[in-house]
Amino acid sequence: MSDRIADVWGARTPHAKDTPWPVRVDTHLDASVAAEDVDRWVQSACVLCSNGCGCDIAVKDGRMVGIRGRAADVVNHGRLGPKGLYGSWQWSRTDRLTRPLVRDGGELVECDWDTAMGRIVERSRQLLATDAGALSHAFYTSGQLFLEEYYTLGVMGKAGVGTPHMDGNTRLCTATAAAALKESFGSDGQPGSYSDIEATDAVFLFGHNMAETQTVLWMRVLDRIHGPNPPRTVAVDPRTTKVAEAARATGGVHLAPLAGTNQALVNALTREVVHNGWLDEDYIAAHTLGFDELKAVVEPYTPEHAAAICQVPAADIRRAAEIFGTSERVLSTVLQGFFQSHQATAASCGVNNLHLLRGMLGRPGCGILQMNGQPTAQNTRECGADGDLPGFRNWDNPDHVRQLADLWNVDPMTIPHWAPPTHSMQIWRYCEQGSIGLLWISGTNPAVSLPELPRIREILRRDSLFTIVQDGFLTETARLADVVLPAALWGEKQGTFTNVDRTVHLSEQAVEPPGDARSDLDIWLDYARRMDFRDKDGAPLIKWSNPQEAFEAWKECTRGRLVDYTGLSHDRLRGGSGIPWPVNDKAPEGTQRLYADADFPTRPEDCETYGHDLLTGGVLSAQEYRARNPDGRAFLKAAPYVPPPENTSEEYPFLLTTGRTVYHLHTRTKTGRSRPLRRAAPGMWVELSVSDAARLGVREGDLVRLESPRGALQAPARIGRGRDGVVFAPFHYGYWDEPGTDGAVPGGSPRAANELTITEWDPVSKQPLYKTGAVRVTKIADAAGPSPAPTTTASAPADPDSVPPTAGGPDADVREHPDATEPPQPARQAEASPEQSGSKATTSATGTKG
Ligand SMILES: Nc1nc2c(c(=O)[nH]1)N[C@H]1C(S)=C(S)[C@@H](COP(=O)(O)OP(=O)(O)OC[C@H]3O[C@@H](n4cnc5c(=O)[nH]c(N)nc54)[C@H](O)[C@@H]3O)O[C@H]1N2
Ligand SMILES: Nc1nc2c(c(=O)[nH]1)N[C@H]1C(S)=C(S)[C@@H](COP(=O)(O)OP(=O)(O)OC[C@H]3O[C@@H](n4cnc5c(=O)[nH]c(N)nc54)[C@H](O)[C@@H]3O)O[C@H]1N2
Ligand code: SF4
Ligand SMILES: [Mo]
């Protein structure tokens, strides 16, 4: 048995380049349950990050009691990480919402569904009858529901209500991934594949702490690093993450730029690649546009110039560029260190540029992973629940709008497309101004996760705003709502979702939802029925009534698009492995890599956007776009570096950056209810560098106060391994489990990172700037003990002996078995579900899609 709190990544299974990643099956069962007592194993995939690990849920007596990885799955080859093992079902027996709540006399009181839905429909009709019409309604959803739910929301919101005010928390998460892919290649859609790890010579992680945030993907990288001919690793991160440690160990580079300076760094890397002639000139000439302009923009960014801006050694920039320029195959990943900053789209396009310049795209080992974060964020984007048009269609292209109008049998004018869809930061602004009167929040907890929380709480408390919150728990946000709807969660409903490398999984219903809780799909179908949304011929607008029918409807929406699901079905996804789209007649087994033929969806009739100016966010017109005649070529887009909107000053001398720890997901509604995970990271902390702490007279565990122009928080300090001048704070800790608070309002001591963050966003993707802001730090009190920060990860103390190591207890036992042999199964299970016996399964998962 292993303890995967202490040993986050488990035992190594090293292997050589271009050989398959070995299988290792990870299983964790409730301590009170023996493997032979499990009644059923039900197929699913983990929804605690974007990696999308295939898994089976153990069910006993109608309850979820355990989990194991699926050996046959291309994504994880049987492995699971700490969140998947300890956070996937453990919350299901706790304080769930079981009945709808409505606000009466200021209090939230329990009621039945008719009462709750009745109130919603009454308010909805009232507002739709005002002059504001559909503009009075906004939907703010998630990256954690299922595809079928998003598509239903998308159709209902666009062709039923008819509002352009729809977005996901994906705006905070991976709006930049989508934006960068659209700007460079014409459409959203990940070019690369996880299997590029097996084939690559160098891995570049741009602002991505993969070791903690996609732990199973990091196991995949580690197994190459520990094998023969390991890839060199380059980490771009102001903290000494495990990724940064690997960079040093593999002869790569750890670049630790000042927060907010990525664009200068990327420009310098690009300039070095150009000046040294590390270029695929034929590829550039045949398949790209914009090379001359790119060269001109990056020219001033000598390594020395960038080094001065980023405060990193110029030699390290040269060395990183050389690794990129001289490795035969490079795999790049990009995430929040890039996405949540003021030049997010520009810097992320910069990574696409580097790959295009070297013609490193669409071949094994040469992937780009503009990462997702949430497990189903890809589907939010695909289905249009983020406001985009479903199927990666272009709101500015009348033909695309007409395709949807025909499919849904509605007038094109009912589909809002007269202006860009409203992004979530603007939706909150309209709520603040009062023009939006109904805000329907599903699967997200903005009272903890949005920037500048004092403002968000104030908006949610307004009488002029009727808020509906749909969640499995009474979150900080739910406590401020007018109606709370109890949602069925993962394992309690059926649906599909798609991970970073386009792999689609089916998640089956394993158990009944608690009490009266319903799936998001059923809730929206009920609303659509009650509102009586109709098509042109008077038939019901939404023509499906369960997940399978919704999936079939979605397939039609994708026909002929890059994001083609027509070859998939729920049944096709049972058994074996998840399958990467596009899946169609041409690619019945799915598609591992896009753009192998270097033919990009940039033709005006194909593309998802006509593009933006990366510096200002200015929208390019259809005419301007056509004039460039992209004709299937990719765009090399560039921008100069500009400083972040808020920089350090005498009053606020430190840069604040925020992020994650391996043991918690976001606002902890699930992971905070798991004993092993809660114990591993029980409370808020902030990280200071050794010399910053010394200057402030702060020692390990001392209580410090962080203040920004927007708010303050107090937390014990970890004397960590970050760079000087940058303070790091995790954003996981809201108030639902804080004694002395009412869940949303700090009683005595505010502790959420977003009390401090700024309401600003990237001009192109509109993603907020969680990674840059200015704060001051003051010591409040001496330590009562070490800070609660884990020692196993990037938050490890600079002095390893100063703090006891983080470890799990007896309830953290995990079985890792090195081959596909499953633990003993009771006979009745084999009869009940033949697909579990492996009839469709292949264990050499890398081979299945090759
Ligand atoms: N354990 C865990 N895993 C998760 C999640 C979780 O909450 N917990 N959430 C999931 C989701 S939704 C997401 S979006 C992903 C996020 O995954 P990541 O992006 O990997 O996570 P973060 O910690 O937000 O940020 C990554 C790194 O960016 C660095 N950084 C900060 N500022 C800068 C900067 O200016 N430049 C550069 N280059 N780097 C900077 C931080 O030091 C941090 O180590 O994780 C997913 N996986
Ligand atoms: N300072 C700072 N802030 C950040 C970030 C950062 O790096 N720094 N990262 C940002 C990012 S990348 C993200 S993704 C966001 C995440 O922010 P949130 O989305 O607000 O965080 P979660 O805690 O994941 O909230 C998801 C909610 O959905 C509920 N839920 C789960 N499954 C279901 C379901 O099936 N149906 C329904 N109805 N509800 C469900 C959960 O109980 C939970 O309350 O935070 C953002 N905020
Ligand atoms: S890596 Fe992500 S998907 Fe896989 S087990 Fe961990 S949290 Fe779940
Ligand atoms: Mo995210």
CATH 3.40.228.10 domain locations along the chain: 175-371
Closest to 330 in 3D by CA, of 310, 349, 356: 356
For the residues 734-758, what does the mean pLDDT come to? 84
Across the range 352-380, mean pLDDT stands at 98
Nearest ligand to the C-alpha atom of residue 668? 2
Q: What's the 683 CA to ligand 4 centre distance in angstroms?
A: 21
Mean pLDDT of 308-312: 98
% of the chain residues with pLDDT over 90: 93
Residues 6+ apart with CB under 8 A from 800: 791
pLDDT of residue 810: 87
Regarding beta strands 654-659 and 774-781, do their DSSP bridges make them parallel or antiparallel, or are they unpaired? antiparallel
Which residue's alpha carbon is at the smallest distance from atom 47 of ligand 1? Answer: 213
Mean predicted confidence (pLDDT) in 371-395: 97
Whole-number Å distance between alpha carbons of 357 and 819: 41
The predicted model gives 808-820 an average pLDDT of: 88
pLDDT at 741: 79
Residue from 92, 144, 521 whose mutation best tests the ligand 2 pocket (most atoms within 8 A of CB) = 144
Which residue in the block uniquely carries the two structure tokens 């070019």? 191
Average pLDDT, whole number, for the chain?
95
Per residue in 546-559, pLDDT tens? 999 999 999 999 99
Ligand 1 atom nearest 665 alpha carbon: 7
* pLDDT confidence band for 94 (50 / 70 / 90): confident
Burial of residue 504, with CB atoms counted within 10 A of its CB: 0-12 exposed, 13-18 middle, 19 or more buried: buried
Phi, psi of 803 (to 5 degrees): -140, 140
**Cβ of 387: how many Cβ atoms within 10 Å?**
28
Q: Is the pLDDT of residue 411 over 60?
A: yes
Chain segment 639-694, per-residue pLDDT in tens? 999 999 999 999 999 999 999 999 999 999 999 999 999 999 999 999 999 999 99
Domain limits, CATH 2.40.40.20, in the chain = 654-810
Please state, in angstroms and rounded to a whole number, the distance separating the CA atoms of residues 374 and 417.
27
Distance 799 CA to ligand 4 centre (A): 31
pLDDT of 789 reads 98
The residue type of 559 is R
Predicted confidence band of residue 749 (pLDDT cuts 50, 70, 90): confident
Dist. CA 660 → ligand 1 center (Å): 6
| pLDDT band per the 50, 70, 90 thresholds, residue 821 | low
Q: Is 795 in the pocket of ligand 1 (CB under 6 A)?
A: no
Predicted pLDDT at 742: 72
What's the pLDDT tens digit per position in 824-850? 443 333 333 333 333 333 333 322 322
Q: Three-state SS string across 743-793, please?
A: CCCCCCCCCCHHHCCCCCECCCCCCECCCCCEEEEEEEECCCCCCCCCCCC
Give residue ranges with CB within 6 A of ligand 3: 46, 48-49, 51-53, 80-81, 83-84, 214-216
Please report which helix (H) or strand (E) contains residue 2, including its range. Answer: strand 2-3
How is 331-357 classified by DSSP, letter by letter? Answer: EEEE-HHHHTSTTHHHHHHHHHHHHHH
Residue 771 · residue 259 · CB < 8 Å: yes
pLDDT higher than threshold 70 for residue 185 = yes
693-702 tens-digit pLDDT = 999 999 999 9
Residue 330 pairs in a beta bridge with 202
Alpha-carbon distances, residue 482 vs 335, 441, 454 (angstroms): 35, 11, 19
Whose alpha carbon is nearest atom 8 of ligand 1? 665
Cα–Cα distance, 820 to 710 (Å, whole number):
53
User: Which H/E stretch holds residue 377?
Assistant: helix 377-383
Predicted confidence at residue 474, as pLDDT, reads 97
Q: Where does residue 305 rank: exposed (0-12), middle (13-18), buried (19+ CB within 10 A)?
A: middle
pLDDT band at 776 (very low <50, low <70, confident <90, very high): very high
pLDDT digit string, tens, across residues 494-537: 999 999 999 999 999 999 999 999 999 999 999 999 999 999 99
Q: How far apart are CA 196 and CA 367, in angstroms?
A: 6
Q: What is the dihedral of CA 551, 557, 560, 561, to 10 degrees?
A: -90
Contact 630, 186 (CB under 8 A): yes
Residue 403 has pLDDT above 50, yes or no: yes
Give residue 747's pLDDT.
64
pLDDT at 364 over 60: yes
Torsion of CA 510, 514, 515, 517, to 10 degrees: -80
Token couple for 687: 């990280």
Nearest-CA residue for ligand 2 atom 3 is 449
In angstroms, the CA 5 to CA 85 distance is: 10
Per-residue pLDDT of 611-632, as tens digits, reads 999 999 999 999 999 999 999 9
Q: What is the pLDDT of residue 847?
A: 28
Q: Are 383 and 147 in contact (CB under 8 A)?
A: yes
Higher pLDDT, 748 or 474: 474
* C-alpha closest to that of 221 among 248, 200, 251: 200
Q: What is the pTM of this model?
A: 0.96
pLDDT at 93: 79
Pocket lining: 333 vs ligand 1, CB cutoff 6 Å: no
Look up residue 114 and give its amino acid: D
What is the distance in A from the centroid of ligand 1 to the CA of 381? 20
- Residue with CA at minimum distance from ligand 3 atom 2: 49
CA 228 to chain CA centroid, nearest Å: 32
Architecture of the structural domain at 175-371:
3-Layer(aba) Sandwich (3.40)
Distance 241 CA to ligand 1 centre (A): 11
| Fold of the domain spanning 654-810 | Barwin-like endoglucanases (2.40.40)
User: pLDDT tens for residues 138-156?
Assistant: 999 999 999 999 999 999 9
Q: What percent of the chain has pLDDT over 70?
A: 96
For 427-468, the pLDDT digits (tens) are 999 999 999 999 999 999 999 999 999 999 999 999 999 999
Q: Hey, is 118 helix, strand or coil?
A: helix
Is residue 190 within 8 Å of residue 500, measured between CB atoms? yes
Query: Does ligand 1 come within 6 angstroms of the Cβ of 341?
Result: yes
Lowest mean pLDDT among 119-133, 201-215, 739-753: 739-753
Closest CA relative to residue 408, chosen from 152, 49, 607:
152
The Cα diameter of the chain in Å comes to 73
Within the chain, all domains assigned CATH 3.40.50.740 are found at 116-172+376-494+511-560
Q: Which helix (H) or strand (E) element contains residue 587?
A: none
Q: How far apart are CA 437 and CA 184, in angstroms?
A: 37
Q: How far apart are CA 568 and CA 555, in angstroms?
A: 8
Ligand nearest to the CA of 722: 1
Decide: residue 283, CB within 10 A, 0-12 exposed, 13-18 middle, 19+ buried: middle
CATH 3.40.50.740 assigned to domain 116-172+376-494+511-560? The reply is yes
Q: Based on C-alpha coordinates, what's the Rg of the chain? A: 25
Compute the distance from residue 729 Cα to the ligand 2 centre, in Å: 17
Q: For residue 433, which phi and psi values (nearest 5 degrees)?
A: -80, -15
Give the distance (Å) from ligand 3 centre to CA of residue 213: 8
Mean pLDDT of all residues in 108-134 = 98
Q: Cα of 539 to ligand 4 centre, how many Å?
A: 38
Pocket test for ligand 1, best of 48, 49, 316, 668 (most atoms within 8 A of CB): 49
The helix/strand/coil state of 1 is coil
Predicted local distance difference test score (pLDDT) of residue 822: 52
